[in-house]
């Protein structure tokens, strides 16, 4: 099943040559393993990415050597070694700025009950490739011999841009149900199409995802949403029922009709918003926090739907309900607290802009908008613009002009008042000195009052700020 490199097409040879050119340590490592009587193969995503011209600094290898043998062969050669994956047969190595993961041939399967794989060492390359998730990840290049091994047609599938399993989809997903999510992730990352029999197995076996830990699901979903075409992956999750297992709010949006009657439903609107957010990232993307906020911004609509006497649908306070649902869902998926806080805050704030175009916003309102958004303001700008999905060109242009005006107004006030760091005109020490009080709750209450005053009126002269503080103290019995 091995094909000499000389028989590959020019493009394939160039891809492999480029991989080896930017990774000169690969041959050197291969020679060390050969001298020790062991095989070494560049494998999986590294081969796939090289063929696609997307090779990074992380390289994956497989070998018949067991971890203790691998450690002996890299000792004294590697710049650094880590053994955190040793129980799964993986030894990590750093060499010349590259991260190498060397894994013993293995057969990996679930017992049908536990959430973690049972790992057993394999004995040959072909069996190792057969247990891999998809054919595009089941190719190998031997080192230092450079023989190309592709027993399951991964190269042809790369050309066809399809996601297919080496074994039957049912067997593959039974071994590791997370592979169903991974299929959607590769569709999003590579813009590939998932084969119909794979989709059918994902649909039939969706409930098996419940065997997987929240952390593994979270990591795979984060990669999907951060892909080049996240909407392609999201549709696949909903269509197969996989989303119902860990993100049921997404499919639930299909039940709600957009209040502007410009989209089939809020689900379609949401996917458009996600796409808009991706486009607004520019060269800075992918921004998971922005994309997650775009995905979740309307999840409060099903619970807040109301139909008025005129037949119009409304979703009052859906941003409040949506923020609560978002926090619950992201906690269940074990996202870090700071990531949850940022996404929840964006969902909560995403409607604040509407109404600005009616000319009702004072400078105080603009200051509060900036203060409430804090460091999330650049993302809030992008989320708000992404949320404009109306097909009415005149209305879309008006909304864009209104937001342009708001950003210009924010910039003007920021230049005048340093809006990024709105603080009271008097600090805690000044408050204690003027009121003659020690550190304690009174100082905090006074500080909060002066900050609200600063947001309302802008910067105040020292004398006026002191007078306002004394007036507040008298009214609250603190003098």
Predicted confidence band at 13 (pLDDT cuts at 50, 70, 90)? low
Asked if the structure places residue 271 within a domain, the reply is no
DSSP string covering 307-368: E-TTS-EE-TTHHHHHHHHHHHHHHHTT--HHHHHHHHHHHHHTTTTTTGGGT---HHHHHH
**Separation between Cα atoms, residue 121 and residue 311, nearest integer Å:** 65
Position 116 pLDDT exceeds 60: no
Examine residue 241 and state whether it is found in any structural domain, yes or no: no
Closest CA to 336 of 218, 181, 221: 218
Element (H, E) at 144: none
Model confidence at 182, pLDDT cuts 50, 70, 90, reads very high
Name the residue range of residue 444's domain: 423-475
Distance CA 134, CA 168 (A): 10
Q: What is the predicted pLDDT for the residue at 1? A: 41
The token pair at 274 is 């996600």
Domain termination site, one of 119, 137, 160: 160
Whether residue 4 is predicted with pLDDT greater than 50 in this model: the reply is no
Confidence of residue 112 (pLDDT cuts 50, 70, 90): low
Nearest-CA neighbor of 234 among 250, 220, 219, 218?
250
Model confidence band, residue 429 (pLDDT cutoffs 50, 70, 90): confident
**Strands 148-149, 162-163: parallel, antiparallel or unpaired by DSSP?**
unpaired
Higher pLDDT, 258 or 161: 161
Total number of residues shown for the chain: 479
The residues that bridge with 103 in the sheet, in sequence order, are: 62, 90
Q: Is residue 117 included in any domain, yes or no?
A: yes
- The predicted pLDDT at position 295 comes to 98
Structural domain count of the chain: 2
How far is CA 352 from its chain centroid? 25
Among 5-19, 25-39, 199-213, the range scoring the smallest mean pLDDT is: 5-19
d(CA 86, CA 302) in angstroms, rounded, equals 47
pLDDT at 153 over 80: yes
User: Per mean pLDDT, which range of 104-118, 190-204, 357-371, 442-456 is the poorest?
Assistant: 104-118
Q: Give the model's pLDDT for residue 464.
A: 81
Of the pLDDT bands very low, low, confident and very high (cuts 50, 70, 90), residue 10 is low
pLDDT digit string (tens) for 45-61?
999 988 887 888 899 99
Q: Is the pTM of this model over 0.85?
A: no
Confidence of residue 65 (pLDDT cuts 50, 70, 90): very high
How many C-alpha atoms does 243 have within 13 Å on its Cβ side? 23
Would residue 293 count as lying in a domain?
A: no
- Per-residue pLDDT at 334 exceeds 80: yes
Answer whether residue 90 is part of any domain.
Answer: yes
Instruction: Note if the bond before 235 is cis, omega within 30 degrees.
Output: no
Q: Looking at residues 110-128, what average pLDDT do you find?
A: 72
Strand partners, 46: none
Specify if 197 maps to a domain: no
Assess whether pLDDT exceeds 70 at residue 147. yes
Asked if residue 90 has pLDDT above 90, the reply is yes
pLDDT band at 475 (very low <50, low <70, confident <90, very high): confident
Kindly report which listed range (28-32, 194-198, 361-365) carries the lowest average pLDDT score: 361-365
Instruction: From 160, 177, 199, give the residue that closes a domain.
Output: 160
Higher pLDDT, 314 or 288: 288
The DSSP string of 130-161 is: HTSS-GGG--EEETTT--EE-TT-HHHHHHHT
Residue 7: predicted pLDDT: 42
- pLDDT bin (cut points 50, 70, 90) of residue 299 is very high
Q: Is residue 231 part of a domain?
A: no
Q: Determine the pLDDT at residue 118.
A: 63
Q: Please indicate, yes or no, if residue 195 is contained in any of the structural domains.
A: no
Which residue in the block uniquely carries the two structure tokens 């269940």?
332
Q: What is the CATH number of the domain that holds 88?
A: 3.30.460.10
Residue 45 near residue 137, CB atoms below 8 Å: yes
Q: Report the mean per-residue pLDDT for the chain.
A: 86
Amino acid 282: pLDDT: 79
Q: What is the pLDDT of residue 5?
A: 44
Q: Does residue 400 register a pLDDT over 90?
A: no
Helix, strand, coil tally for the chain in percent (to 5): 60, 10, 30
Out of 160, 185, 209, a domain closes at 160
**What is the pLDDT averaged over residues 31-35?**
95
- Residue 410 DSSP code: H
What is the percent of the chain where pLDDT is above 90? Answer: 51
Q: What is the reported pLDDT for 3? A: 47
């Amino acid at each position: 099943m091995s094909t000499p490199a000389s028989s590959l097409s020019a493009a394939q040879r160039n891809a492999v040559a480029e991989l080896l050119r930017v990774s000169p340590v690969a041959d050197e490592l291969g020679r060390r393993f050969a001298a020790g009587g062991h095989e070494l193969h560049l494998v999986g995503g590294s081969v796939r990415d090289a063929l696609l011209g997307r090779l990074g600094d992380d390289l994956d290898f497989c070998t018949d050597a067991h971890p203790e043998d691998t450690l002996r062969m890299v000792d004294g050669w590697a710049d650094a070694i880590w053994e955190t994956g040793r129980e799964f047969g993986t030894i990590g190595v750093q060499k010349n700025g590259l991260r190498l993961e060397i894994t013993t041939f293995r057969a990996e399967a679930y017992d049908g009950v536990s959430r973690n794989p049972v790992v057993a060492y394999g004995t040959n390359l072909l069996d190792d490739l057969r247990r891999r998730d998809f054919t595009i990840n089941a190719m190998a290049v031997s080192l230092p011999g450079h023989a190309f091994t592709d027993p399951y047609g991964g190269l042809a599938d790369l050309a066809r841009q399809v996601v297919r399993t080496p074994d039957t989809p049912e067997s593959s997903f039974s071994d590791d149900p997370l592979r169903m999510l991974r299929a959607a992730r590769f569709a999003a990352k590579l813009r590939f199409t998932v084969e119909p029999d794979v989709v059918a197995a994902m649909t039939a076996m969706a409930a098996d995802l419940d065997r997987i830990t929240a952390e593994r699901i979270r990591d795979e979903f984060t990669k999907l949403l951060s892909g080049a075409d996240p909407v392609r992956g999201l549709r696949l999750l909903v269509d197969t029922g996989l989303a119902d297992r860990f993100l049921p709010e997404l499919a639930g949006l299909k039940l709600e009709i957009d209040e502007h009657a410009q989209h089939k439903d809020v689900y379609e609107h949401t996917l458009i918003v996600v796409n808009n957010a991706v486009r607004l990232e520019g060269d800075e993307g992918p921004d998971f926090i922005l994309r997650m906020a775009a995905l979740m911004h309307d999840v409060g609509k099903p619970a807040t739907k109301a139909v008025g006497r005129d037949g119009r649908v409304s979703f009052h306070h859906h941003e409040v309900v949506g923020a609560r649902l978002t926090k619950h869902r992201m906690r269940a998926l074990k996202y870090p607290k700071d990531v949850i806080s940022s996404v929840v805050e964006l969902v909560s704030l995403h409607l604040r802009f509407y109404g600005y175009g009616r000319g009702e916003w004072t400078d105080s309102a603009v200051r509060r908008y900036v203060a409430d958004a804090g460091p999330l303001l650049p993302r809030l700008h992008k989320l708000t613009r992404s949320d404009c999905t109306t097909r009415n060109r005149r209305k879309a242009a008006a909304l864009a002009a209104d937001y342009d005006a708001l950003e210009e107004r924010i910039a003007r006030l920021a230049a005048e008042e340093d809006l990024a760091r709105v603080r009271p005109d008097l600090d805690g020490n000044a408050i204690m000195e003027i009121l003659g009080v020690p550190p304690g709750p009174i100082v905090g209450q006074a500080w909060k009052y002066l900050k609200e005053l600063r947001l309302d009126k802008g910067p105040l002269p020292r004398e006026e700020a002191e007078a306002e503080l004394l007036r507040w103290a008298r009214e609250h019995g603190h003098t």
